[in-house]
């Protein structure tokens, strides 16, 4: 064995011995700590001395007590201040909501600049200001003399034009960040990465349920429907001609339940309707925007059948196949599935949230 090999063997033995003694010292160290921590005679929480059950008199039963107002331990019982409540129009489920705040009120020129930026942004945005003197939130564009110490700006994450992408969200944040810095205001944003994921998921769901149900009444071969007859039938059915060139069935709030339009690329207008002649009309139900959809569909179906009978027309689906009871029931089943999915997603058809998303 050479001197080098002998030296390496000795060094190896020394390392092993040193490691052994180091581990022994650490073991004794932690044992002493453990013994010190448990040196008191602690009893089992379920058993008394010698394993017997604890006396009944020593038990403390849990009790329900009224919360003590002002007690810091009951902070969850305290009402949320008005200034911290998110107004209903700012819906965090479908919006990316930023907040700017100052110790003093925002100058009027800052409000005007903010509204100008948001108007030119290109996506649906809701902006509210908080008035400290009357503890209320109000839309900025409705305020005659803006005096706000807090401003909340909600960017809607999705609508029928698509969802907010990364570049749009970055531009929105940079714009508000710059305005806050120039104004000496503090600004808070939600987590951007989470918002982008929510926007994509929300848009995907909306695309799946964004359907319209159409019922078509077409003329017999060689015949047409005259505008004056269509207007008379529409008015008799309670439909109202609207600015979009279609007759609408309106609810008590003036919201459209379903619409009647021409097959041809023409609109119903008071000037043209006298000379109008078309080969067919379509009754259209915008499914996610209408509550009680099954009832409204049945109402639309009854109206379409009345038109078909009065005009000697044929009630058909979008493929121009005559509608029978089986086809009508399939439509009802489809509607039920869509409405159930929307309810599970907490976007009930016809609700304020649905009307914002499907616009």
The string of pLDDT tens digits covering residues 326-355 is 999 999 999 999 999 999 999 999 999 999
Q: How far apart are CA 290 and CA 26, in angstroms?
A: 73
Number of domains in the chain: 2
Tell me if 338 sits within 8 A of 212, measured CB to CB.
no
Read off the pLDDT of residues 103-161 as tens digits, 9 standing for 90 and up. 998 988 888 889 998 888 888 999 999 988 888 898 887 556 768 999 999 999 999 99
| Per-residue confidence (pLDDT) for residue 289, from 0 to 100 | 97
Please determine, for residue 15, whether its predicted confidence score (pLDDT) is greater than 80. Answer: no
Distances (CA, A) of 152 to 84, 85, 101, 165: 10, 11, 9, 21
Distances (CA, A) of 24 to 27, 63, 215: 5, 50, 87
Are residue 200 and residue 221 in the same domain, yes or no?
no
Residue ending a domain, among 155, 178, 206, is: 206
Q: How far apart are CA 12 and CA 3, in angstroms?
A: 14
With bands split at pLDDT 50, 70 and 90, how would you rate the model's confidence at 70?
A: very low
Residue ending a domain, among 206, 225, 243, is: 206
Q: pTM of the entire structure? A: 0.72
Q: CA torsion sign, 237 to 239 to 240 to 244?
A: negative
With bands split at pLDDT 50, 70 and 90, how would you rate the model's confidence at 264?
A: confident
In this structure, the chain runs to a length of 359
Are residue 201 and residue 246 in the same domain, yes or no?
no
Closest CA to 316 of 263, 264, 237: 263
In a domain, 157, yes or no: yes
Are residue 98 and residue 198 in the same domain, yes or no?
yes
| Residue with the larger pLDDT of the pair 232 and 40 | 232
Q: How far apart are CA 161 and CA 92, in angstroms?
A: 19
| Residue with the larger pLDDT of the pair 141 and 272 | 272
Please determine, for residue 89, whether its predicted confidence score (pLDDT) is greater than 50. Answer: yes
Q: Which of 46-55, 225-234, 274-283, 344-353 is predicted least confidently? A: 46-55
Please determine, for residue 101, whether its predicted confidence score (pLDDT) is greater than 50. Answer: yes
| Residue 125 belongs to domain spanning | 82-206
Closest CA to 339 of 331, 330, 329, 349: 349
| Residue with the larger pLDDT of the pair 24 and 72 | 24
Percent of the chain past pLDDT 90, that is, above it, reads: 60
| Per-residue confidence (pLDDT) for residue 240, from 0 to 100 | 97
Are residue 225 and residue 256 in the same domain, yes or no?
yes
| Per-residue confidence (pLDDT) for residue 63, from 0 to 100 | 36
With bands split at pLDDT 50, 70 and 90, how would you rate the model's confidence at 3?
A: low
At 152, list the tokens.
């909340």
CATH code of the domain in which 278 resides = 3.30.1400.10
| Per-residue confidence (pLDDT) for residue 318, from 0 to 100 | 83
Are residue 325 and residue 259 in the same domain, yes or no?
yes
Q: What is the DSSP letter of 64?
A: -
Mean pLDDT score of the chain: 83
Are residue 234 and residue 276 in the same domain, yes or no?
yes
With bands split at pLDDT 50, 70 and 90, how would you rate the model's confidence at 69?
A: very low
Please determine, for residue 263, whether its predicted confidence score (pLDDT) is greater than 50. Answer: yes
Are residue 342 and residue 224 in the same domain, yes or no?
yes
In a domain, 19, yes or no: no
With bands split at pLDDT 50, 70 and 90, how would you rate the model's confidence at 82?
A: low
Q: What is the DSSP letter of 322?
A: B
CATH code of the domain in which 91 resides = 3.30.1400
Q: What is the DSSP letter of 287?
A: G
| Per-residue confidence (pLDDT) for residue 57, from 0 to 100 | 41
Mean pLDDT of 196-204: 97
Find the angle CA(355)-CA(358)-CA(359) to the nearest 5 degrees.
Answer: 85
Q: Give the number of other CB atoms < 10 A from CB of residue 242.
A: 13
Are residue 225 and residue 200 in the same domain, yes or no?
no
| Per-residue confidence (pLDDT) for residue 21, from 0 to 100 | 57
Tell me if 175 sits within 8 A of 214, measured CB to CB.
no
Taking the alpha carbons at both ends of the chain, their separation in whole angstroms is 89
Residue ending a domain, among 206, 222, 252, is: 206
Q: Which residue reads 């060689």 in tokens?
A: 222
Are residue 101 and residue 201 in the same domain, yes or no?
yes
| Per-residue confidence (pLDDT) for residue 56, from 0 to 100 | 38
Are residue 236 and residue 113 in the same domain, yes or no?
no
Q: How far apart are CA 282 and CA 214, in angstroms?
A: 6
| Residue with the larger pLDDT of the pair 35 and 331 | 331
In a domain, 33, yes or no: no
In a domain, 3, yes or no: no
At 114, list the tokens.
């903010």
* 65 backbone φψ class: left, alpha, beta (φ>0; ψ -120 to 50): beta
Are residue 194 and residue 230 in the same domain, yes or no?
no
Distances (CA, A) of 237 to 250, 254, 304: 11, 16, 10
Closest CA to 140 of 154, 122, 126: 126
Packed helices 166-183 and 192-209: angle between N→C axes, nearest 10 degrees = 130
Tell me if 202 sits within 8 A of 357, measured CB to CB.
yes
Please determine, for residue 50, whether its predicted confidence score (pLDDT) is greater than 70. Answer: no
Find the angle CA(240)-CA(226)-CA(302) to the nearest 5 degrees.
Answer: 50
Read off the pLDDT of residues 205-222 as tens digits, 9 standing for 90 and up. 999 999 999 999 999 999
Helix or strand holding residue 337 (H, E): helix 325-344
């Amino acid at each position: 064995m050479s001197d080098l090999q002998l030296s390496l063997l000795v060094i190896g033995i020394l390392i092993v011995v040193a490691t052994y003694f180091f581990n022994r010292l650490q073991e004794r160290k932690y044992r002493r700590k453990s013994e010190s921590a448990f040196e008191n005679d602690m009893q089992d929480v379920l058993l008394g001395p010698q394993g017997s059950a604890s006396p009944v008199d020593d038990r403390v039963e849990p009790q329900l007590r009224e919360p003590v107002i002002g007690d810091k331990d009951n902070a969850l019982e305290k009402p949320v201040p008005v200034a911290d409540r998110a107004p209903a129009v700012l819906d965090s489920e479908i919006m990316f909501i930023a907040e700017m705040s100052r110790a003093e009120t925002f100058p009027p020129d800052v409000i005007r600049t903010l509204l100008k930026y948001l108007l030119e942004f290109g996506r649906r945005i809701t902006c509210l200001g908080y008035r400290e003197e009357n503890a209320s939130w109000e839309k900025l564009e409705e305020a005659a003399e803006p005096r706000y110490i807090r401003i909340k700006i909600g960017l809607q994450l999705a609508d029928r034009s698509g969802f907010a992408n990364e570049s749009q969200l970055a531009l929105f944040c940079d714009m508000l960040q710059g305005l806050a810095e120039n104004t000496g205001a503090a600004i808070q944003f939600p987590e951007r990465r989470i918002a982008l994921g929510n926007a994509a998921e929300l848009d995907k769901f909306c695309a799946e349920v964004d359907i319209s149900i159409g019922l078509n009444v077409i003329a017999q071969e060689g015949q047409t429907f005259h505008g004056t007859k269509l207007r008379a039938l529409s008015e008799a059915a309670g439909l109202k001609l609207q600015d979009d060139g279609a007759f609408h069935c309106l609810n008590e709030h003036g919201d459209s339940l379903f619409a009647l339009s021409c097959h041809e690329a023409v609109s119903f207008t008071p000037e043209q309707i006298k000379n109008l002649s078309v080969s067919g009309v379509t009754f259209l139900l915008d499914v996610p925007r209408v509550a009680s959809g099954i009832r409204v569909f049945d109402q639309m179906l009854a109206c379409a059948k009345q038109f078909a009978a009065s005009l000697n027309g044929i009630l058909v689906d979008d493929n121009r196949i005559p509608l029978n009871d089986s086809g009508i029931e399939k439509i009802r089943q489809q509607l039920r599935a869509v409405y159930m999915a929307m309810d599970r997603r907490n976007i009930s058809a016809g609700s304020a949230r649905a009307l914002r998303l499907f616009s």
